[in-house]
A and B are shown apart, each in its own frame.
Chain A
Amino acid sequence: MQQEPAITDQVIADHGLSPDEFGLAVQILGRRPNLLELGIFSVMWSEHCSYKSSKKWLKTLPTEAPHVIQGPGENAGVIDIGDGLAAIFKIESHNHPSFIEPYQGAATGVGGILRDVFTMGARPIANLNALRFGSPDHPKTRHLVAGVVHGIGGYGNCVGVPTVAGEVNFHPAYNGNILVNAMTVGLAQQDKIFYARAAGVGNAVVYLGSKTGRDGIHGATMASAEFDEKSEEKRPTVQVGDPFVEKLLIEACLELMATDAIQSIQDMGAAGLTSSSFEMASKGGCGVELWLDQVPCRETGMTPYEMMLSESQERMLMILQPGREDVARRIFEKWDLDFAIIGKLTDSGRMVLKMHGETVGELPIDPLAQASPEYDRPWTPTPKLPLLAADAVPAVAPVEALKTLMASPDLCSRRWIWEQYDHMVMADTLQRPGGDAAVIRIHGTNRALAMTVDCTPRYVQADPFEGGKQAVAETWRNLTATGARPLAVTNNLNFGNPQRPHVMGQFVEAVQGLGAACRALDYPVISGNVSLYNETSGQAILPTPTIGGVGLLDDLDGHMTLALKATGDSLVLLGETRGHLGQSLYLRELHGREEGAPPPVDLAAERLVGNFVRGQIGDKKLNACHDLSDGGLVVALAEMALAGGLGATLEAPEPLPCPLHAWLFGEDQGRYLVATAAPEALLAAAQAAGVAAIQVGRAGGDTLTLPGGGTISLAELRQVHEAWLPGYMNGH
């Protein structure tokens, strides 16, 4: 038994508790906590577990709709997708660990989010990831990109869940603080959804999965470890993922869930045994007694403190129905998984931690959970930036501009990345990476889910409210472009230090913006994750509220792609074009300027245009459809041409609503470019629906011809588009 250290102010500070928080802890216990109890308070009240800075604002998000079965508050959100089926999904960040050890950080991020989803009874059917790296010329960036991509693939490929979509940005603001956000979508029977609500006094608490080591015990424990003998072995270590064990866990849990043995179940995520056991007990309003000497350990001499705080991966905690231990044992043994009965539920409302029969810690569950701090941090709004006039931006020859943009780090092909991800395993991937959204067949049915992750941090930085709206709208647009009906979102709020009012202000306004968009689009938030303190030496990241959207396609062969398909098809631009160049990639990549207000999102127009497009796709009136985003009209057309291996000619209308370069490259929101064989009918329908629509050219040939006569061959365009990322990763 380790000798008990004194709980000095230093030790308290090392555990990230403010003096007030410590005071509250003493009040709750009616005495000073010992080190083990202090550690438990510190993780339960950490930003990560308690959401103390964000809670107040998260509550303002719309989380309800007739099709929402479970909103925020469980391991993942659940929506009704018909036929007795449910889609279960969530996104989660693993930013800091990925910066420290990119391979393992990203891999364990994927493992963690997978567990959140299959914990609820869903078979994971797709992974997505949103990545943000520093400037390409920062010395660390290449190594981080390589490690993160390798780690995401290494884990996802092995567990056999396809990685089907994602996004990647490069910006100096992420030099010291990359973002790795991973999302998992799963499929479950509505009558077989599992929750973390523990119940049944006397029921066994079962530990399943990998043994517990000293992985990832947070920094604070370094200090406390010094009270132990300072041996190398005793130092906390980086969490290492074992996708093989994860795969066994998925199969074993789903097999067990098909029986009636499980009362409740919860993955051991961050702050492993502590938060999982607390969450289960507090949700179920019961007490729990844990026998820590029964916890399967990887290393000798682990203390109760280390066991309760370890972040070892691939572990689950479950409550079994009485008398069902044998069913469970048979299945775990079939899958060669370590498991142990490590405690029982009680009616004491307290958590009692025992080691060899001796009580080493005791805490009341509800008071601790309920009393978890909630702060209303001071915040200041982000000053609005003036609208940047299009003629304040010099025009560049269209073809040159297009080449530069298509070869830029934020717009170039991501093939180098997705070819390292198995995006086809499970044999239901109908739309592979590279489109607007991935489309995954609901296994054995004629229906499919569309899914995407999006955020445009430079917009959020310039105007958090509009940027928040835009991130939501872009996911909605991407789903719509495939013909899918957008159903709900998950969100990952990555921000800097909330104790700085302007950063807190970014957070508040972004949440308000995404809330407004979700409301206007009947597109509720069903899960998410918050990652704060993303900054190094005072430099915060761009505010990055990543949105993951999921939609439903009721008819498979209705699904639409962006690829141009038929020579002679007319190109029609839907939605209002004003020529907004503020915060555009044209401005940044060609003029090195990040200026002006971002493009505003008119949510009513967004909804009108989107619903029109979806209707046209449903009525089989379109041959191709792509939403307009980074790089505007010309980039969208180039992407459609490359995807179809078919060229096009773009014609500017007379008169132009704005300068030509702004019409070509402006990033006005709420727009789609579609290809159709019957333009008149489409234009008429658009007019009837009150949707702005103009014909802007034709598909055909093997070149792209732009207004003003500039022409580029698809071959050359493809070459510049494909070359940058592999070239960069190979060091030139």
Chain B
Amino acid sequence: MQAAVIVFPGSNCDRDVAVTLEQVSGRKPHMVWHKETEIPKVDLIVLPGGFSYGDYLRCGAMAAHSPAMRETVARADKGVPVLGICNGFQILTEAKLLPGALLSNKTLTYICKDVTIRVETSQSLFTNAYEEGQTLRIPVAHHDGCYSIDEDGRRELEDQGQIAFRYCAPDGSVTPEANPNGSLSNIAGVFNRSKTVLGLMPHPERLADPLLGGVDGRALFESICGALV
């Protein structure tokens, strides 16, 4: 599986995700600068976490217009899988590759801690190595992770099985207390219609190494590799 990681000015998890991708796939991802209009032929495009353009104006708004994103949208339309983590998720919504928007956390503060999320479906190339209903411990680190979408949009996500992960209690129950940022229906990650694009606020690449205290995030990358060999 050969991946490309788009690097925006202000991206800061590009190295972290590259390390995990290489550990899992055995291949170094191409690091593609946002000004590139061409992206090498790859099996997966990753938009990393960070603060593209300082999160100024709206998180991800300016990055969504970069040349590399125009190419990413074109590839996504052709069915090339795209994964957006944290700021990458925000960029995907700003680029309209994913529905909804990410607003400021209900706490109005930045939140960096481990949370529990529930795998809502294993029927996707991003989650096939997980069990449906499985709970994962994964860190979040964001200021604007409150997922928001209008009622029709929410119903459509539910009906189409486009909700990938939900914040939950350790026992898997989806409760308001388990919702760190106020996201609608505890939504932590969503797919596009064809489930070839995934955006999520938690950072699976940060718990994919036992030395860092956990490996629950690793299977997400293993899912992709498994599906894309």
Contacts and interface: CB of A to CB of B under 8 A. Distances in A.
A185 interface: no
A426 B110 CA distance: 17
A426 B9 contact: no
Interface in A696-710: none
Nearest to A157: B110
Contacts of A426: 15-16
Nearest to B14: A160
A168 to B, nearest CB: 17
A427 B9 contact: no
A425 B50 CA distance: 9
Nearest to B52: A244
A160 B50 contact: yes
Contact of B205 (A247, A427, A556): A427
A158 B111 contact: no
A425 B10 CA distance: 13
Interface stretch (B125-133, B206-214, B221-229): B206-214
A418 B112 CA distance: 8
A222 to B, nearest CB: 31
B113 interface: yes
Given A424-B112, A425-B16, A244 B212 contact: no
Nearest to B9: A248
Contact of B16 (A418, A420, A427): A427
A155 to B, nearest CB: 11
Contact of A424 (B35, B110, B139): B139
Nearest to B111: A419
Contacts of B211: 430, 441, 556-557
B54 interface: yes
Interface in B45-68: 49-51, 53-56
A605 to B, nearest CB: 34
B187 interface: no
Interface in A402-452: 418-430, 432, 441
A732 interface: no
A243 B112 contact: no
B19 A427 contact: yes
Interface residues of B, number: 32
A496 interface: no
B173 interface: no
Contacts of B49: 425
A9 interface: no
B54 A425 contact: no
B10 A427 contact: no
Interface string A116-145: 000000000000000000000000000000
B109 A243 contact: no
Given A244-B10, A334-B33, A423 B112 contact: yes
Contact of B141 (A242, A336, A424, A428): A424
B13 interface: yes
A126 to B, nearest CB: 14
Interface string B110-126: 11110000000000000
B10 A158 contact: yes
A243 B51 contact: yes
B46 to A, nearest CB: 15
A248 B110 CA distance: 22
A244 B9 contact: yes
A556 B212 CA distance: 11
A648 interface: no
Interface in A552-589: 556-557
Nearest to A418: B112
B12 interface: yes
Interface string A243-283: 11001100000000000000000000000000000000000
A422 B110 contact: yes
Q: Is the interface of B mostly helix, strand, loop or mixed?
A: mixed
B178 to A, nearest CB: 16
A613 interface: no
Interface string B10-51: 101101100110000000000001010000000000000111
Contacts, number: 81
A579 B49 CA distance: 51
Given A244-B56, A430-B212, A425 B12 contact: yes
Nearest to A448: B211
A160 B19 contact: no
A432 B9 CA distance: 27
Nearest to A415: B113
Nearest to B113: A419
B10 A247 contact: yes
A375 interface: no
Contact of B111 (A420, A428, A430, A441): A420
Contacts of A429: 212
B212 A159 contact: no
B114 to A, nearest CB: 9
Given A427-B19, A427-B212, A159 B111 contact: no
A335 interface: yes
Contacts of B33: 334
Listed residue (B20, B141, B213) with the most chain A CB atoms within 10 angstroms of its CB: B141
A448 to B, nearest CB: 9
B54 A243 contact: yes
Nearest to B210: A557
A102 interface: no
Contacts of A157: 51, 110, 112, 141, 143
A422 B212 contact: no
Contacts of A244: 9-10, 51, 53-54, 56
A109 interface: no
Listed residue (B10, B33, B55) with the most chain A CB atoms within 10 angstroms of its CB: B10
Listed residue (B19, B110, B141) with the most chain A CB atoms within 10 angstroms of its CB: B110
Contacts of A428: 212
B206 A420 contact: no
A247 B51 contact: yes
Contacts of A159: 12
Nearest to A158: B51
A397 B60 CA distance: 56
Contacts of A423: 112
Contact of B206 (A150, A153, A334, A427): A427
Contact of A422 (B10, B20, B55, B141): B141
A160 B13 contact: yes
Interface string B178-221: 00000000000000000000000001011001011100000000
Given A420-B111, A422-B141, A425-B141, 10 more contacts: A157-B51, A157-B141, A158-B10, A158-B54, A243-B51, A334-B35, A424-B139, A424-B203, A425-B12, A430-B211
Q: When A and B form their complex, which 9 residue pairs have the shortest distance between CB atoms, in order from nearest?
A: A160-B12, A244-B54, A427-B16, A158-B51, A422-B141, A422-B112, A420-B110, A419-B113, A153-B110
Interface of B: 9-10, 12-13, 15-16, 19-20, 33, 35, 49-51, 53-56, 109-113, 139, 141, 143, 203, 205-206, 209, 211-213
16 contacts: A150-B109, A157-B51, A160-B50, A242-B54, A243-B51, A244-B10, A244-B51, A247-B54, A335-B9, A419-B111, A420-B111, A425-B13, A425-B141, A426-B15, A430-B212, A556-B211
